[in-house]
Each structure stands twice: as C-alpha cells, then as structure tokens.
Amino acid sequence: MVADIAYLQQNQRDIQQLEQVLARQRAAFRANPLPSAEQRRAWLKALRKLLVQEQDSIIRAISRDFSNRSADETRMAEIMPSILGIHYASKYLKKWMRTSRRAVGLPFQPASTRVIYQPLGVVGVIVPWNYPLFLAIGPLVGALAAGNRVMIKMSESTPEFSELLKTLLARIFPEDLLAVVTGDVEIGVAFSKLPFDHLLFTGATSVGKHVMRAAADNLTPVTLELGGKSPAIVSTTVPLRDAAERIAWGKTLNAGQTCIAPDYVLVPEARLNDFVNAYRQAVQRFYPQLQSNPDYTAIINQRQLNRLNGYISDAQNHGATVVPLFPESHERRMAHSVLLDTTDDMKVMQEEIFGPLLPVIPYQRLDDALAYINDRPRPLALYYFGYDKAEQQRVLEQTHSGGVCINDTLLHVAQDDAPFGGVGASGMGHYHGHEGFLTFSKAKTVFSKQRFNAARLIYPPYGKLLQKLVYKLFIR
C-alpha cells in the first residue's frame, strides 16, 4: 500500500512536470515566434554532429534494450536515414520558408495574395520502441525545420536508449526548445492529453485511437503513423529469386518489427511451393544460423515474444501449417517461420504481426489478389513484384495504401523528397522532407489591399446596376 501511494505521488509530480515544461516552451516560443533560417539550420547542424559523434553509444544502448540488435541495422535503418533527413532539410529550408505568391481573381483586384509559413508552436512526438532513434529524429527534424519547440515521449520498452537520448539531446538543446520525456504508460497517457499545437504518434492502431481521443479534448491536430497488415503481391512471371530475396530482406530487418514490413504475401497458387523454397533459401543466406549471430535482431521483450508464439499456437490450432526456417529459436532470437493454409479466424491474419512470421496465401488471378487486399483495412504499405508495366499500373490504380514499392520493400520510407504517411486504418497525415515542414507549419493566407477599394462598389444597398453587371460577368 505504501509503495502504491508513493508511486501515485511520483506519477502526479511527473505529470505536473510535463505541464511545467510545456508552459516554459510556450513562453520561449512567444519570445521568439519566428526563428530565422540560420537559427533553424544551427539546430539541425548540432543534431547531425551529435548523431555522428555518438553513433557507437546509440548502437550499444539500442542493442541492450533488444538484448541483441544488429549494429548494422541500427546504422542503416536509424542513424543513416536520420542524418540524410537532416542534410535534406538543411539544404532546402530557405526554399520551404519562402513566402508563396498566389493569384488574385479579377473581381477582387487590385490586391495581392501570399501564403506565409509560420511555426505552430509546441509539437508533441510519441515514439514507439521498434526504431526509437529514427522515429524520434524524423519528426524532430521536421518540427525544428518549421521553427517549433518540441517535446518527445519515448517508449518505456527502450529504457536504456530513452535515457541516453534524453542525456544527449539535453547536451545541445535547452529544455525550453526540446525536452525528452521518459516514463511508463500513465505518463504516456498524460502526455497525449497535453494541449500541444500538433501531436504526432507512431505506433499501434489500437493505441492511436486512444491518442486521437485524448487530443480531441484540446482540438489538437494529430498525425498518426499506425501500420496495419501490409501485403506483398508476387506476379505470375517475376523471377522467384528476385521477389523472395527482396521480401525476405524487408521481413527479416529488425526481425520483422517494422511498421512497413511485408505482413503477408499473395502468391500464384501454381508458384506457392517454389516461392516458399526460394524464400527459405534467401533467409538462410542472410542468416546461416541464429545462435550468437550478431546480425540477427532479437524480439524486443518477453511480452512481445509471448504474443508472437501465441499467434503460432492459435494458427496451428485452427489448421495452419507452420514451416520453421531454422531448427529452433535462441532466447529472444525468434526463428523465422512461414505460415501456410491460414484463414481469417486466426489472430495472425487479424492483427499486425510485427515479427518474423510470414503467411503465404495463394491466389488464382490478379483480380483475386486485389480483391483480397481491398476487402481489408487500407495498409501502410503495399509491395508488388513483377516487371509488366501494365500490371504495375493496374495495382497502383486499383488499391489504396499509404505508400508503394514496386519490386522492392521498405525503401520508399527513406526517400526524403517524398511524403510518408498512412491512409484509413493505417494512419493520417504525412511527414518527411517538405511534407514534414508543412505538417508542422501554419500556411497562413495574407490578402492585401492599399488605398483603392474596388469592393465598395458591391457593398449594400443591393440591387444597383453595377452589382447586376458583376453577377452577369462572373456567375455563368
């Protein structure tokens, strides 16, 4: 009882501290509501320098949280895209900030219209555990480029890295510009209820619904990056080695703990067995063995491992065939498996998998594959493998998803000059590159006149000849 009371008291103090940090950031923003391009570039330069200098400590901390996270995967999928995003934003920042001149319609002349881009104020970012650096730094870059103050809530599932990032960022940014928040689920709930000027959440669809409800009380606009069940389609003609190898890379990176990982594969029925064999060979080329293999990333924690093992048991109980690609798992290095004969009543086909399990589903015609995808919630990503241009176009036109790769997986997320975001159940809003700047800015229209006011000719009383002439000219 005493421990519970102490926990509640500490929790309340932590929540009050969140409110105090937000108040200090709001005050700092009011004191400098439009940071210059030079100031914003200085922030980004300091951030880039920090990531380059501290990459080894970042790699070690993330690996400890996972029990083993491939150092190369952290460099390739977290550090490198973060630095590239900073370079891109720094390069184009002045262009993005430039006032945009817009046309004025003839009835409203003489006048001018322009759009100016202002920072929103204080931005909240909620970070998941699977890519704790990249999914913190990506939104941070967009928010800083737009001139905002930022509060970041890190995941309680990555305590080592969360504390490290908090320490590192406090070294280069004052708390009234950037604050990193750690803590449990209760702190996360309180964070989502703060009256931010914008809130970006990356994580599960189920949690995203709660975040959106919390934000609604303050009318806080939200960007939700959620995920879902991203499909891959293998065509009837693509070389199976090509497709299997690229799907295997997208599925095994971070042990499948990626929001845009291929969640299931649709394969022509006549090619099913050959695809499974090609896929097995690709995975085993990447990872000849699991035990003590530094390249094979572990499942983040025991709770997630139990969830994935539960999917396997449930699928087997409902008649699925599980094809393990390794003899056994080693601690949290979970053996990759293919699942055949899956049905919609299995949990593995109802929930985002987020792990090294790959259902392979046969189809007869491309129409059947497209219908299968369109009968389900819109995914964050879709992957098509085939070199027929007409078929590629058909897939693009007849499906909806947050993004698409043709003959590859994952890499659309790394394109700084293109937006990233979901649709429907997989999220709302965009960020990365210019879209990130726009998400965290207010595009404010400014309509200007000087002394002469032609509009007075249409002021009341109505029914004058000139008004009738205006209607005749422009309502047709």
H helices of 146-204, where?
159-172, 185-192
Can you give the pLDDT at residue 13?
82
**Same domain, yes or no, for 96 and 132?**
yes
Read off the pLDDT band of 393 (50, 70, 90). Answer: very high
Please give the share of the chain, as a percent, with pLDDT higher than 70. 98
Tens-digit pLDDT profile for residues 41-83? 999 999 999 999 999 999 999 999 999 999 999 999 999 999 9
User: In this model, does residue 6 exceed pLDDT 70?
Assistant: no
Going by pLDDT thresholds of 50, 70 and 90, the confidence category of residue 9 is: low
Q: Are residues 195 and 275 in the same domain?
A: no
pLDDT band of residue 455 (cuts 50, 70, 90) is confident
pLDDT number for residue 467: 86
CB atoms within 10 A of CB 148: 26
Instruction: For residues 158 and 138, give the distance between their C-alpha atoms in angstroms, rounded to a whole number.
Output: 18
Answer yes or no: is 321 within a domain.
yes
User: Which pLDDT value is given to residue 305?
Assistant: 97
Confidence of residue 1 (pLDDT cuts 50, 70, 90): low
- Asked if residues 199 and 215 have their Cβ atoms less than 8 Å apart, the reply is yes
In this structure, is residue 449 part of a structural domain? Answer: no
Q: What is the mean pLDDT of residues 435-441?
A: 98
My answer on whether 235 and 198 are in the same domain is no
**Domain presence at residue 371:** yes
Q: What is the pLDDT of residues 306-356, one digit of tens each?
A: 999 999 999 999 999 999 999 887 889 999 999 999 999 999 999 999 999
**In the predicted model, is pLDDT for residue 7 greater than 80?**
no
What pLDDT does 328 receive? 84
- pLDDT, residue 331, reads 85
Residues 6+ apart with CB under 8 A from 146: 117, 119, 120, 436, 437, 439, 440, 441
Domain membership of residue 474 (yes or no) is no
Q: What is the pLDDT of residue 188?
A: 94
- For residue 473, is it within any domain? no
Instruction: Say if residue 187 is in the same domain as residue 328.
Output: no
In this prediction, residue 8 carries a pLDDT of 58
The 3-class SS string of 35-94 reads CCHHHHHHHHHHHHHHHHHCHHHHHHHHHHHHCCCCHHHHHHHHHHHHHHHHHHHHHHHH
Q: Read off the pLDDT of each residue in 281-296 and give the average, rounded to a whole number.
A: 94
Active site residue 225: yes
- Looking at the structure, tell me whether residues 119 and 194 fall in a common domain: yes
Nearest to 163 by CA among 39, 76, 308, 62: 62
Shared domain for 212 and 237, answered yes or no, is no
Tell whether 77 and 44 lie within a shared domain.
yes
Mean model confidence pLDDT for the chain:
95
| pLDDT at 52 (0 to 100) | 98
Which of 2-6, 175-179, 184-188, 328-332: highest mean pLDDT?
A: 175-179
Residue 398 C-beta-side C-alpha neighbours within 13 Å: 16
- Looking at the chain, the whole-number percentage of residues with pLDDT higher than 90 is 89
pLDDT, average across residues 201-228: 95
Q: pLDDT at residue 5 above 70? A: no
Domain count within the chain: 2
| 475 located within any domain | no
Please check whether residues 258 and 173 belong to one and the same domain: no
- The catalytic position among 73, 78, 225, 435 is 225
User: Which domain, by its residues, includes 392?
Assistant: 231-416
Same domain, 293 and 188: no
Residue 216 shares a structural domain with residue 239: no
- Mean pLDDT (whole number) for 78-92: 98
> Does 46 lie in the same domain as 194?
yes
405 and 367 inside one domain: yes
